[in-house]
Amino acid sequence: MSAAKLRLGVLVSGRGTNLQAILDGCSDGRIPAEVAVVVSNRPGVPALDRARRHGVPALTVSHASYGKWPLCRAAYERDLVRALTEYGVGLVVCAGYDRLAGETLIEAFRGRMINIHPSLLPSFPGLHAQADALAYGAKVTGATVFFVDESLDGGPIIVQEAVPVEEGDTVESLAARILVVEHRLLPRAITLIAQGRTVLEGRRVRILDRSGGASQCVGQ
């Protein structure tokens, strides 16, 4: 009997291009997991349509309906956790989710929730990573997948990949090239977790090779 696949709960807020990369990877077998549910905090976003086209339950738990943010965060996250739990989610994937996770959500899925950020963390955390990299004059930026904790984009890093900053780059052109990397980096991180190849040791994430030994190349 084959082992049950890791069940993913994907949190979204917008277009859902990273969600699409996950859905495609799960469908063609590159990611040994299944998307159990997609949840958006914003109604009517394209990401929900992407989920429905793949036959995946698509839910809206609108943060705006709970009151003033962040005062309403705990109540909102209690319902969010309830929805994820009802679908048997083993790993929460933030894929373009625009809320900073609070204590309720983090405690329910500590060590089982990941996010992707468009920079080489710890450089340029926050909402304007591409603009910040350009303003700073960085020659290299990239994308990072990390385990979510209470910090702002500061959780333990799973995988990273560099993206050169080109002469004449705008925020839009740089963001577009980073997004291409995100579409392969996030599925890679999910695959590593689904294969049981990530070991969280404090701030360090060790990546095991297929034989169970530590891998020497974790960022490609």
Residue 78 has, within 13 A of its CA and on its CB side, a CA count of 4
For residue 70, cis peptide bond before it (omega within 30 degrees of 0)? yes
Active-site residue, selected from the candidate residues 54, 63, 117, 183: 117
Structure tokens at 28: 């063609």
- Containing 54, the helix (H) or strand (E) segment is none
Strand partners, 114: 93, 147
Is residue 54 annotated as a catalytic residue, yes or no?
no
- The answer to whether residues 130 and 177 touch, using CB atoms and an 8 Å cutoff, is no
Per the listing, tokens 């060790």 go with 206
List residues with catalytic annotation.
117
